[in-house]
Amino acid sequence: MAAELHVALVAADREVWSGEATLVVARTTSGDIGVMPGHQPLLGVLESGPVTIRTSDGGTVVAAVHGGFISFADDKLSLLAEIAELSDEIDVQRVERELERAKAEGDAAAERRADVRLRAAASR
Amino acid sequence: MGAQLRVYKRRIRSVTATKKITKAMEMIAASRVVKAQRKVAASSPYATELTRAVTAVGTGSNTKHALTTQAETVVRSAVLLLTSDRGLAGAFNSNAIKAAEQLTARLEAEGKQVDTYIVGRRGLAHYNFRERKVAESWSGFTDEPTYADAKKVAAPLIEAIEKETADGGVDEIHIVFTEFVSMMTQTALDDRLLPLSLDEVAKESAPKGEILPLYDFEPSAEDVLDALLPRYVESRVYNALLQSAASKHAATRRAMKSATDNAGELIETLSRLANAARQAEITQEISEIVGGSAALADATAGSDR
Q: Residue A117 pLDDT > 60, yes or no? A: yes
Rounded Cα gap, residues A122 and A50, in angstroms = 10
The answer to whether B53 contacts A43, with C-beta atoms less than 8 Å apart, is yes
Q: Which of A8, A33, A73 sits opposite B218 (nearest CB)?
A: A33
Sign of the torsion angle spanned by Cα atoms B3, B4, B10, B14: positive
Full-model pTM: 0.82
Rounded Cα gap, residues B15 and A124, in angstroms = 61
With an 8 Å Cβ cutoff, is A109 touching chain B?
no
- For residue B279, tell me if it sits in a domain: no
Chain A hits for B216, CB-CB cut-off 8 Å, are 40-43
Classify residue A87 by burial, with Cβ atoms within 10 Å: 0-12, 13-18, 19+.
buried
Q: Residue A1 pLDDT > 50, yes or no? A: no
For residue B219, cis peptide bond before it (omega within 30 degrees of 0): yes
How near does any CA of chain B get to the CA of A73, in Å?
7
- For residue B142, tell me if it sits in a domain: yes
- For residue B21, tell me if it sits in a domain: no
Q: Which of A11, A29, A41 sits opposite B216 (nearest CB)?
A: A41
Rounded Cα gap, residues A103 and B257, in angstroms = 53
CATH number of the domain bearing residue B150? 3.40.1380.10
Edge to edge, the sheet with strand B76-82 lists B136-138, B113-119, B76-82, B172-180, B186-194
What percent of chain B is predicted at pLDDT more than 70? 89
Half-sphere exposure of B139 (CA within 13 A, CB side): 12
Rounded Cα gap, residues B204 and B185, in angstroms = 22
Q: Residue A100 pLDDT > 90, yes or no? A: no
Q: Which residue of A has its CA nearest to B151?
A: A82
Those residues whose C-beta lies under 8 Å from the C-beta of residue B171, and which sit 6 or more positions away, are: B71, B74, B75, B76, B77, B161, B165, B195
Position A16 scores a pLDDT of 85
- For residue B20, tell me if it sits in a domain: no
Residue ranges making up the domain that contains B60: 26-257
- For residue B17, tell me if it sits in a domain: no
The answer to whether A43 contacts B42, with C-beta atoms less than 8 Å apart, is no
Residue of A45, A75, A83 to mutate for B, most B C-beta atoms under 10 A: A45
The total of structural domains in chain B comes to: 1
Position A124 scores a pLDDT of 62
Quote ipTM for the complex. Answer: 0.77
Give the pLDDT of chain B (305 residues) as one tens digit per residue.
Answer: 678 899 999 999 999 999 999 999 999 999 999 999 988 888 888 888 888 787 777 766 666 666 667 667 778 888 999 999 988 888 889 999 999 999 999 998 988 888 899 999 999 999 999 988 888 889 888 888 888 888 888 888 888 887 777 777 788 889 999 988 888 888 888 888 877 766 666 565 555 555 666 777 877 777 888 888 888 888 889 989 999 999 999 999 999 999 999 999 999 999 999 999 999 999 999 999 999 999 999 888 876 65
- For residue B273, tell me if it sits in a domain: no
- For residue B81, tell me if it sits in a domain: yes
- For residue B220, tell me if it sits in a domain: yes
